[in-house]
C-alpha cells in the first residue's frame, strides 16, 4: 500500500512537471532509519528503557506462571484425597490464577492499548520528532523535494509542499474524473 502511494506521488510529481513545461530539477534523498535508530544515542536509550520495562514485565509474568504451575501440581498430587467441594474450590483458584496471568499479559502486551505500546510511543515519539526535524532541515538545506526511508517499505519522510497534489486528487475524485 505504501509503495502504491509513493508511486502515485512520484507519477503526480512527474505529471506536474510535464504540465508546467518548465524543467524542474527533482532532487530526492534517502535515509536508512534502521541505521539511525541503531546509532542515535537517544534512540538507543529509549529502546533500552523500553527493554527494561519488558524484562520486568516478563519476570513478573514468569513468577505468576510459576505460582500457577505450582498450584496445579499441588492440586494434581492432592486431588485424589480431596472432597468434591475442595476440588472445585482449588480448581476455581487455579482458573483465577490463570485468568490473572492472561489479564496481566494482555494489559502489558495487548495491542494496541497494551502498556508496551503506550510506553513505546512515550519513549520513542520525542526521538522520532527530532529525527524528522533533522531530516526536514537537511532536505531544505540540500534543496531536496523528497526524502525517502529505504529501510523496509519505501516511506516518504519529507516532501516539498510544492509537489503536494492531495487536494487536486480529492477534487478530481469528487468530480468523478478519471
- Secondary structure (3-state) at 36: helix
Q: What is the pLDDT of residues 47-67, one digit of tens each?
A: 999 999 999 999 999 999 999
Quote the Cα angle for 160-2-158, to 5°: 20
Residues 6+ away with beta carbon under 8 Å from 108: 57, 61, 114, 115, 116
Quote the Cα angle for 51-102-45, to 5°: 10
Residues 6+ away with beta carbon under 8 Å from 47: 37, 123, 124
pLDDT attached to residue 74: 95
Give yes or no for residue 75 having a pLDDT over 90.
yes
pLDDT bucket at 154, cuts 50 / 70 / 90 = low
Give yes or no for residue 177 having a pLDDT over 90.
no
Residue with cell 522520532: 128
The predicted model scores a pTM of 0.69
Phi then psi dihedrals of residue 98, to 5 deg: -65, -40
Q: What is the DSSP string of 52-120?
A: HHHHHHHHHHHHHHHHHHHHHHHHHHHGGGS-HHHHHHHHHHHHHHHHHHHHHHHHHH-TTTSHHHHHH
Distance CA 80, CA 84 (A): 9
| Averaged pLDDT of the chain | 84
Q: What is the pLDDT of residues 8-60, one digit of tens each?
A: 455 555 555 555 556 667 888 888 888 898 899 899 999 999 999 999 999 99
Amino acid at each position: 500500500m505504501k509503495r502504491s502511494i509513493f508511486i502515485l506521488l512520484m507519477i503526480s510529481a512527474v505529471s506536474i512537471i510535464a504540465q508546467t513545461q518548465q524543467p524542474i530539477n527533482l532532487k530526492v534523498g534517502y535515509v536508512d532509519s534502521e541505521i539511525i535508530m541503531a546509532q542515535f544515542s537517544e534512540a538507543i536509550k529509549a529502546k533500552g528503557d523500553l527493554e527494561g520495562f519488558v524484562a520486568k514485565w516478563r519476570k513478573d509474568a514468569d513468577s505468576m506462571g510459576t505460582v500457577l504451575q505450582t498450584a496445579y501440581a499441588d492440586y494434581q498430587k492432592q486431588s485424589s484425597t480431596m472432597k468434591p467441594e475442595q476440588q472445585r474450590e482449588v480448581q476455581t483458584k487455579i482458573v483465577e490464577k490463570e485468568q490473572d496471568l492472561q489479564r496481566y499479559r494482555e494489559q502489558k502486551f495487548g495491542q494496541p492499548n497494551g502498556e508496551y505500546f503506550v510506553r513505546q510511543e512515550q519513549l520513542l515519539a520525542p526521538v522520532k520528532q527530532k529525527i524528522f526535524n533533522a531530516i526536514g532541515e537537511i532536505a531544505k538545506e540540500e534543496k531536496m523535494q523528497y526524502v525517502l526511508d529505504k529501510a523496509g517499505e519505501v516511506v516518504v519522510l519529507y516532501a516539498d509542499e510544492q509537489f503536494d497534489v492531495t487536494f487536486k486528487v480529492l477534487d478530481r475524485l469528487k468530480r468523478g474524473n478519471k
